[in-house]
Every structure is written in C-alpha cells, then in structure tokens.
Structure 1
Amino acid sequence: MSFEENKMLIMPAVDIKNGKCVQLVQGKPGTEQVIIDNPEQVAKKWEEDGAEIIHVIDLDGAFEAKDNLNTIKDILDEVNVPIQLGGGIRSVDYAKQLLNLDIERLIIGTMAIKDSNTIKQLSEEFGSERIMVSLDSKDSKVVIKGWKEKIDKTATEISREFQEAGAGSILFTNVDVEGLLEGFDIQPAIDLVNSVDIPIVYSGGVTNLDDIKSLTKTGVKGVVIGSALYKDKINLKDALKLQTIQ
C-alpha cells in the first residue's frame, strides 16, 4: 500500500507479547494496561471497522530476542488488509523470511542504525516501498534495542542517511509520551518531515481526535494509534474520517 499525497493513513496498533495483544506505557515491560487474547481477532476487528492497514509490533522480538512468528502468521491469515510489521528484526535473513510472508512493509530499527547497508540490501531486493526505518526518540535522542540504549543523535540528524540507503519511509516514535495518553509536541514530527523526501509515519501520545487533526497539518503520511483506541479515547471509525487531508 503506497502512501498518497493527500492522505494521512490511520494505523491501528496491534502489539504482541507472549502471544497476546497488549498496550504498554512508554514501552516498558510490566506496564501492560491492556491484555487481550487472540491478536488476530483484534486485527480483524480493526479491519472490519475500516482500517486500511494494521500496524503490528512484536514486543517479544524487540525486548527478549524471541519472536511471535506463529501469531504474526495467524494475523496474516485472518485479515485481508496490508500488515506493517516491526519488532526484533535483528538479521537480514529474518527480514527476508518476513517479507516473503507477504508482509506489506517491514519496520527495521536497531539493525538499520547499526548498519545502514542492510537497508540498501533489502530495498534493492524487495523494493524500497516495503522497507521502513524506525527512529525512536527519547529525551530527543534516538534509542535502540527495545528503547534501552541511546545514541547521541536525533532522528532528524540521521534520517537522511536512511533515505539515501534506500528506505521507502520512516516511522518516528516519541517514546517520551508513548502510552501516556497525555498528548505530544508536534514539532519533532514537523522537523523530521522537513529533513527528508520520503513519507514519515508518527507514533506516540495520540490521545484524541484533535491530536489527529493537528498531525494532518504536519505533512506526516500516517499515524499509529494504540492505547487511545483500546481505552476508548478514540473511535476508529471517527478517526478514519480524518484520513483525507483537504
């Protein structure tokens, strides 16, 4: 699914931990505020509500170097809309395995930052539109390895490197506000949009429809919504009405 000029895709999040759909606060294990069995059924519900793409994150892959591959396959079997997947993709071989499962777009974080040549390799083989680099920001610096390790650069500072390496898009996550349902500062998203020519997807702190409206003015091409959907702060059908930018 390509990004469109006058559209900001609403992407409901399905985060997987121990085979269940969960929502964490600032990505910290042990802060689960939502735990739901059968993530594939959750993804199906978002599809039925009108989502055009589902954002799936394997938290076990991100935190513990194990994966939820069977659950990911169940989601792929259950839904008909494209799946955007990230979390724990630490090798090119595993990335290829996932892309060969018909994952629409693969999100790569730590591996990309450690070696941008992996992005070049994958984008050349599978197409840049299927390769998204994850730039997660905490205290204004990029964090890797499940948000546990910080590097001394901002997302804006390193974004062009990944565009040049062949990434088709960037996922920017504001870890400082992730899962808090307290809103967010839109300026980092604007700065990132202005730094590269590839689509930016925003994630972190989206709490209400006004937050979504503010993002439509930043130039981002997608927004990931997690806790606000699961805690009924945002109704997905209402959010989807804001996808088309006037």
Structure 2
Amino acid sequence: MFKKDEMLIMPAVDIKGGKCVQLVQGEPGTEQVVINNPERVAKYWEDKGANTVHVIDLDGTLNGETNIETIKKILNEVNVPIQLGGGIRSIEYAENLLNLDIERLIIGTMGIKHPETITKLSEEYGADRIMISLDSKNSKVVIKGWQEEINKSATEISKEFEDYGAGSILFTNVDVEGLLNGFNIDPILELVKSVNIPIVYSGGITTIEDVEKLSKTGVKGIVIGSALYKDKIKIDDALKYQSLKGEF
C-alpha cells in the first residue's frame, strides 16, 4: 500500500539464471553485476531499511523460463513486501504468484495485449496488488522484453489502464536504464499529471541528487539498481528521501 506522504525507495533484485544481476538496458550479455543467492541480496536490502524490494525475473521476461524457486526463496527470506514482475504471461501464473503473498504484481506484455486481465486480477485480488508496467523507448511503449513497440506513449496509454483497474504504474525509461547517466524529468512529470493512481519510476537513477529530484515529482516510489550495486548511491542516503519533499 502506498502512503500519502511517502516515496518508497525500492532496491532492485533482478534475477537471471538463479543469480542477482544488473544488465545495461536489459540486454543479455551485458551483466555488470553478478551475485549468487538473490534471496540474501534481498535480505540485505531489508536489513538496510528498505520497506519494499523490487524483484524482476529477467529469464521470465526474456525467454519465459521463470525463476519461481528463487522467488520462493526470496519470499521465505524477507519480511518486507515484494514487488515482482517478469514473464507473467498468463492469468494462472499471475494468480499463483499472488497466492504466494507477493505484495504487488507488475504486469507488462500480458496486460497491454489483454487489458481485461488487469481488470480480472484487480477485481479478484484488489487493485493495490496489480501494477501495470509501461516501459518507454524512444518515447513509445515497448513490450516483450523491450523488443516490440506499441505506437503509443506511456502518457497516452496510462489513463486506459487506470480505467481497466490497475492500482499503480511502473514507468521505466529504457533509453537510460542501466547507463548511470541520469534521466529526463519531463516524461515523469507528464505521466504523474495524467492519472490519479501511484507512479513508480525506474531508469537512469545515478546520484543522490537524482533521488532528491524525483522526490519532488509526485512519484510514489523509485527503483534503484546499478547505482546501489556500484556504490554510486548509499541506501542510507536514499532512504532519507522516503518522505516527499515538495513539487516542481
């Protein structure tokens, strides 16, 4: 559940081949971080004070081979909420994950191709537990592991999914994902203004100044990956911005 005056800091635990990895723009073979035992990584972020851990099953996203056993290990290891996405291609698999007590399920390709699935899951499990993933590349939404383009922007499609019953939106700017070069604030501000449901942002967050800037946009959470693993941002410093600081 997103709180009114809080911006959640969400450390990313991306799983590939049963390991925690960080890729550049989601491209296989660009691993810059490889750590065994993702469940211990998730526990580390919990112990450091994270209130939510953001878990992505990259194998599920890229080739449909899910890391369900690793996901179960993470759920057994940590006590804070888990926000999970990657490779959710059927209602049945989504229901299985929600019944494992995943706090919030991130649905991308299936939701965009079949928006009625968002409605069904939201009605059955509650909108707070269903997040639609809008990944943007060259200002257009992309699906299937960022390989297929939809001829709409995230802002254009966001209102549709609010109407379909999504409880929140994960907005990822693929153009800057994993590059550690910062991000463009304008699409984020535009998206926040377009809907009334919470927005979580991911992509290009590199410095503590980026975290401060995002805390003023109205987003309800930010996902930080490579910058934490490469020690460009200290989790303790980032957590200081969980209370919203104002607005642009």
Structure 1 residue runs of 4+, over 2 Å off? none
SS in 1 for 2:191: helix
CA distance in 2, matches of 1:69, 1:170: 23
CA distance in 2, matches of 1:242, 1:104: 22
Partner AA of 1:193 in structure 2: V
CA distance in 2, matches of 1:81, 1:5: 19
Shift, 1:137, TM fit? 0.2
Shift, 1:6, TM fit? 1.3
Q: Which residue of 2 aligns with 1:227?
A: 226
Q: Which residue of 2 aligns with 1:22?
A: 21
SS in 1 for 2:110: helix
Deviations 1:92-133 (A, max 9, x none): 000000000000000000001001100000000000000000
Residue 31 of structure 2 corresponds to residue 12 of structure 1: no
Matches within 5 A, 1:14-163: 14-163=13-162
CA distance in 2, matches of 1:171, 1:234: 21
Deviations 1:202-236 (A, max 9, x none): 00000011001110111100000000000000010
Partner AA of 1:68 in structure 2: N
Q: Which residue of 2 aligns with 1:3?
A: 2
CA distance in 2, matches of 1:87, 1:188: 23
SS in 2 for 1:172: strand
Residue 202 of structure 2 corresponds to residue 203 of structure 1: yes
Deviations 1:30-81 (A, max 9, x none): 1000000000000000000000000000000000011000000000000000
SS in 1 for 2:232: coil
SS in 2 for 1:177: coil
Partner AA of 1:160 in structure 2: K
SS in 2 for 1:184: coil
Partner AA of 1:130 in structure 2: R
TM-score by length of 1: 0.99
SS in 2 for 1:211: helix
CA distance in 2, matches of 1:37, 1:46: 15
TM-score by length of 2: 0.98
* 5+ residue gaps, structure 1: none
Deviations 1:3-24 (A, max 9, x none): 1121110000000000000000
Partner AA of 1:230 in structure 2: Y
Identity %: 70
CA distance in 1, matches of 2:158, 2:244: 25
CA distance in 2, matches of 1:245, 1:168: 20
SS in 1 for 2:84: strand
Deviations 1:147-181 (A, max 9, x none): 01111100000001110011000000000000000
Partner AA of 1:123 in structure 2: S
CA distance in 2, matches of 1:242, 1:153: 32
Query: In angstroms, what is the RMSD of aligned CA positions?
Result: 0.5
CA distance in 2, matches of 1:172, 1:242: 19
Give the total of aligned pairs.
245
CA distance in 1, matches of 2:235, 2:144: 30
* 5+ residue gaps, structure 2: none
